[in-house]
A and B are shown apart, each in its own frame.
Chain A
Amino acid sequence: MALPKRIIKETERLVSDPVPGITAVPHDDNLRYFDVTVDGPSQSPYEGGVFKLELFLPEEYPMVAPKVRFLTKIYHPNIDKLGRICLDVLKTNWSPALQIRTILLSVQALLGAPNPDDPLANDVAQRWKEDERAAISTAREWTKNYAQDDAE
């Protein structure tokens, strides 16, 4: 199946006009599969971390949203142990007018604005609500441990 024009265009633009703090590089053998990094937003517990994600464009893209998952371990109420993300634009609020670029920006924004009221990782959310400071501190710790170059 030939790659739709849209995917080609998006890929080209991600290279020619990159979003600061985000990279997305398709695999040579599968142009629908991207290696993604997202920098933790400043003034968030994830600041300084570089989070790896995988992104896959399903056959029906752009009628359906891309599949995005954190590979790097992260302590976040809307991201579970497996790296799955709870984000409306990745699900019901997806629109074909959105793109890889906008989706990744949304993910980055989610890091800066965790929403424990709509949790995916219940334990994290619980803690976030009960003791936000402790939670943030864990998040920071995890970032240091898992999302920084010297971590591994």
Chain B
Amino acid sequence: MGPVTPPPKRRRFFKEEDAFMSGTATDLAAHGQALSDDKKQNITSSEDFRSPSRSSTRETPSSSPPLLSEIEILETERKDEPEPMADTNATVSEGFDEVLLESITGQKLEPETLAVLRDISNGDMTRAINFVFDGTLEKHLHPKTRQNAKTQPSVLANLMHVDAVHLVENANPVEPPPKTKPLPMWRERYVGSFQVEGWATRSGRNLLKFGDEISLKRVARQVNGNGTKRFGSTIKAKENDIFVRFTNMRGDEIGRLPADKARFVSTLLDLKICIFTGTVIYVDSNLHTGDSIVLQLKCYLSSSAFNIDSGHVKSATSPQYNNFVYKGKETSDERHLRLRQMALIKLFMDIGLEPYCTNDLLKQHTAKGQLEAAAMAEQFDIKVTPNESSDSEGPESENSVDEDKDLEQDQLDSLYRKAQAYDADMREVEPSDTFNMELRPYQKQGLGWMISKETFEKKANEKQIDSMHPLWEEYRWPVPDGEVSADEPHDRFYVNPYSGELSVEFPKIQQSSLGGILADEMGLGKTISTMSLIHSSPFDPSCGLERTSVELSRFASSTTLVIAPMSLLTQWESEAKAASKPGTVEVLVYYGDERSIDLEALCLGPEGGRKPKAIITSYGTVASEWQKYVKNGVSKLFQLHYLRVVLDEAHTIRNRASITSRSCCAVRADRKWALTGTPIVNRLEDLYSLVKFLGVEPWSHFSFWRTFITVPYESKDFLRALDVVQTVLEPIILRRTKSMKQKDGSPLIVLPPKNVHIEDIQLTDTEREVYDLFYRRAKQTFTASVAAGTVMKSYTTIFAQILRLRQSCDHPGLVQSAVKKDEIDLEDNNDEKSDKGTLLDREDDVNLQQLIDKFNSAEEEKNAKDCYGYEVMQQILKETERECLICSTEPITEQVVTPCWHMSCRNCLLEHIKYQRDHGRTPRCHSCRTEISEKNIFEVVHHHANESGKPEIALRRYKPQSSAKISRLLSQLRTIRQEEPNTKSVVFSQFTSFLDYIQDSLHRDRYKCLRIDGTTVQRERARVLEQFKNENGEVILLLSLKTGGVGLNLVSANKVFMMDPWWSFAVESQAIDRIHRMGQTQSVSVYRFIVKGSVEERMLKIQDRKKFLASSLGMSEDQKKMQKIEEIKLLFD
């Protein structure tokens, strides 16, 4: 502790008053003499000029304390607005008044210093004072070496500290050991001082007097503070406890700091960033609880603050740390960084310390902006915390995110438009000879770009060797007591206002990781491009990356690690093999059983043999290995440092707090690539995870990202946020879309045509009844909440009902549970079998050949009628084409036979029966007028030739199909079978339960059918996809829209059935693109099943509206809500 010195003034006083000072400079000069009696008046009027609202507080009379205190009190008031307590006298002087200068600057100036100061300021007092503070004076003076007592080095302490840091790092294998930061050669160093008006928590006489030293103390509320540690104790306080108490020299608690100061002072103390000493400036000798006590606090940065790891909770010894690693609570880490950042910025504002040198980029952003950002994040945290704590890992948790934060499709579009600076003239690069495929021109360009991104760094390194890291600011150490200390080895220090990091070493711009984001639209061949890169851009020993010997010994210099979703592993493997000439690229799938392989020996071993050039693994594997690695330090995957790591479908890591995301970021590699067709799925933060994975400086610091992107975006400054995103993306992203043109004007890829048909579906009567029921319910809810004005509140309820409505368009069975028995009877009362008398009546499904055999064996007993039946059977068996007697269609579609052996189309006969019944007549056969009914007609089913050879024809009792959509699907499939045999079809639905029904119906008609949905395990998926691909004949794949939307390659199919519409066509279109993508050779037909006169039809309208809607950029939350309500209204109009 140094002696009690008159506190230096904060330069901020003058800076803030610049306008005032310069505007009234002559005015002040005119006042001339030392102002005694009229100075009060003078100041009051000046105050009025600056801020009229304050003037009333100036009237409180009080005794006249010493001049010095008065000024400080005034400043305190201006800044902090405490309750009015003291008279506001101030002094202004004319000319060059040494005494005043000294009293304001708090420095005893040497005569020669004064002379210099007078010279450079041309005798202007204001400027002179500013020069003292901003360091200009220092420049003009020559080294004056009066060391401050507090800056004495304490080498031993630092050495011990360094050791401790090492221990911490060794115990923490998550991150590669960082290079040891040079630590300052002192324990703490003065950075400035500020005044604060605390308040007394006790009463008494002579507890404190002017000039007394006090110390600050942090005590958790419940703990009774009895220790009076000199520099503030750091008992871990509760999260929200910000109390900072101060004690007198005897250790008695006297009072507390005001909340606004305490907020950051507490953080600084807790995180051991600062050490404070305090002096009493003003105190009433007879102290009462609640009285103000004005303190001058001197702030010293502690040397430990310069090593960020020791400064916050991320220490291996803290029990919280374990929590942090295993539960995915990265946000707590981020929170501490943010608190630290906020506290430092506040402190620097209060002590008036400004950067000596800062980056251009940062100049646009004031400390105020940074604070706003941090404060906003705090509020945001409060809202989000419950969500994040219950955060379950994996993509499913993404669904729970607040919809309002989602990016609108058009915002995304404009973002992509900006980001995709695709230049048709980009250089094409031929892949290496070992690459076994022909690249398209744009893929060669992509290869060129990728190679350049892997080598770019060499040039950049040469040029930018000396530039400061863009995030850092340089500060000069301020000098207390007017002493100049140019000899100090570290006479400046560096602050990262975005992360709150401190450093005494010049922060060089860091080498960014090599690589980027290949964001080509789906189907443009990102996999192939990546394979060509693996072939064509091998390890270059001269790349100049610094490496420690430990790193070198773990460096798999020829291995690329590919991390892909489980479902794509097989696809990667086969494509990797297909793309490589035999023997050139060894591919290893590291998954499941394969994990027993000794990766290390393989990858670090000699060239040739089984040394894998590509290791393909899944996100899940990486995540689980990472967890093991963190726990025990054992993981085959994480022990290596790869040449390259590639994330396929990289948007998988978009939740930055998920294990998946963090584990991928922890993979060590020289070059990092992210492949994704949708770098942003729904929020701008999605992109952050990619940027963090790639290690793009400075954006990989979340605080920086938040300041420049999240905060402007959330405060509706969309355009600015998107602009910044663009600058982030431009250098690292390459995105081509199918619609782009090559330089000769031809499209990038020419796909066979795609025809989208909308199939109007007419619900059956039962279905309509169910639908109407739900429609009435939903409309009632909606109308009621519109009337009550609670639409947004009951949004979820309304949405759930709309979901039911949509399900009831598919199959009444999907909503059966929600229908009360008395409302609609969905049960099939189909049991009674009438019409006993023909051969057909007992069986539901009869093989025709067997039936004929029966006929033959019992020929004699047959009467004429049955002989006719025999004839008909023969005709059916021979597939004699006949015309439908009702509609004249030839051949009969969906042939049915009555018990009296008369044929027609199924629908014709059903219509005939229904018409008769509706007109009060008994349904009779159209040919012989025998009584018939829906329940005893038989469908002729042509089962496809199975393994045993002959196609089988059977008669099957007709069962009314309970879903109009399924009937339509079946009839479409029949048509396809007739017109284009051996076609493969894909059927999408959002509802897996509907897929169940479809599957049953397809099985009944003996279609070969496969299925993948969310529950299908990886091994099964791969098998199913393989089977679908290799199947030679007709096969139908059932896919759930969500599962099928990702990554799959289904080009062997060319018929797509979309069983139900989604709110935005983009999602459907993505699913369709699984089939209509590169490699598709046939024209693709898409059938979208839309129920006529239902919400589905209206959803189409909403889809259209979304397409044509002018940009929603710049729309307010309320406007967006309104838009959603409008959409719902559309549904019920």
Q: Which residues of A contact B (CB under 8 A)?
A: 4-6, 9-10, 60, 62-64, 92-93, 95-97
Contacts and interface: CB of A to CB of B under 8 A. Distances in A.
Interface stretch (B29-37, B299-307, B607-615, B907-915): B907-915
B929 A95 contact: yes
A97 B927 contact: yes
A95 B888 contact: no
Nearest to B912: A96
Nearest to B885: A97
A29 to B, nearest CB: 23
Given A6-B887, A6-B888, A97-B885, A63 B911 contact: yes
A90 to B, nearest CB: 15
A92 B921 CA distance: 9
B887 A63 contact: no
Main secondary structure of the interface of B (DSSP, over half): loop
B901 to A, nearest CB: 13
Contact of A95 (B887, B911, B927): B927
Nearest to A13: B888
Given A4-B887, A6-B887, A62-B886, A93 B929 contact: yes
A5 B887 contact: yes
Contacts of A95: 924-927, 929
B961 interface: no
Contact of B912 (A4, A63, A92): A63
A92 B916 CA distance: 10
Given A63-B911, A63-B915, A96-B912, A5 B889 contact: yes
Main secondary structure of the interface of A (DSSP, over half): loop
A82 to B, nearest CB: 24
Nearest to A7: B888
Closest 9 CB pairs of A and B: A97-B885, A6-B888, A97-B926, A96-B886, A63-B915, A9-B888, A95-B926, A97-B927, A96-B926
29 contacts: A4-B887, A5-B887, A5-B888, A5-B889, A6-B886, A6-B887, A6-B888, A9-B888, A10-B888, A62-B887, A63-B911, A63-B912, A63-B915, A64-B915, A92-B921, A93-B929, A95-B924, A95-B925, A95-B926, A95-B927, A95-B929, A96-B886, A96-B908, A96-B912, A96-B926, A97-B885, A97-B886, A97-B902, A97-B926
Given A63-B912, A95-B927, 18 more contacts: A4-B887, A5-B887, A5-B889, A6-B888, A9-B888, A10-B888, A62-B886, A63-B911, A63-B915, A64-B915, A95-B924, A95-B925, A96-B885, A96-B886, A96-B908, A96-B912, A96-B926, A97-B927
Contacts of A4: 887
Contacts of A96: 885-886, 908, 912, 926
Contacts of A62: 886-887
B1034 to A, nearest CB: 28
A39 to B, nearest CB: 26
B1131 to A, nearest CB: 30
A63 B908 CA distance: 9
Contacts of A60: 915
Contacts of A64: 915
Interface string B893-911: 0000000001000001001
A63 B921 CA distance: 13
Contacts of A93: 929
A92 B927 CA distance: 14
Contacts of A6: 886-888
Nearest to B927: A97
A64 B885 CA distance: 14
A93 B887 CA distance: 18
A118 to B, nearest CB: 18
Contacts of B902: 97
B886 to A, nearest CB: 4
Contacts of B929: 93, 95
A6 B890 CA distance: 10
A95 B912 CA distance: 9
A62 B888 CA distance: 10
Contacts of B889: 5
Contacts of B887: 4-6, 62
A34 B176 CA distance: 93
A28 B912 CA distance: 29
A60 B886 CA distance: 12
Nearest to A6: B888
A17 to B, nearest CB: 14
Contacts of B888: 5-6, 9-10
Most buried by B among A5, A9, A62, A64: A62
A17 B886 CA distance: 19
Nearest to B914: A63
Interface in B594-624: none
Interface in B923-955: 924-927, 929
Contacts of B925: 95
A4 B902 CA distance: 22
A64 B925 CA distance: 14
A10 B888 CA distance: 8
Contacts of B915: 60, 63-64
Nearest to B908: A96
A96 B904 CA distance: 11
A93 B926 CA distance: 10
A123 B915 CA distance: 36
A8 to B, nearest CB: 8
A6 B887 CA distance: 5
B1006 to A, nearest CB: 30
Interface string B867-888: 0000000000000000001111
Nearest to A5: B888
A61 to B, nearest CB: 11
A53 to B, nearest CB: 23
Contacts of B927: 95, 97
A96 B915 CA distance: 11
A95 B913 CA distance: 11
Nearest to B890: A9
Interface string B485-523: 000000000000000000000000000000000000000
Nearest to A93: B929
Contacts of B908: 96
Nearest to A10: B888
Most buried by B among A5, A9, A92, A97: A97
Nearest to A4: B887
A43 B921 CA distance: 38
A63 B912 CA distance: 6
B828 to A, nearest CB: 26
B354 to A, nearest CB: 82
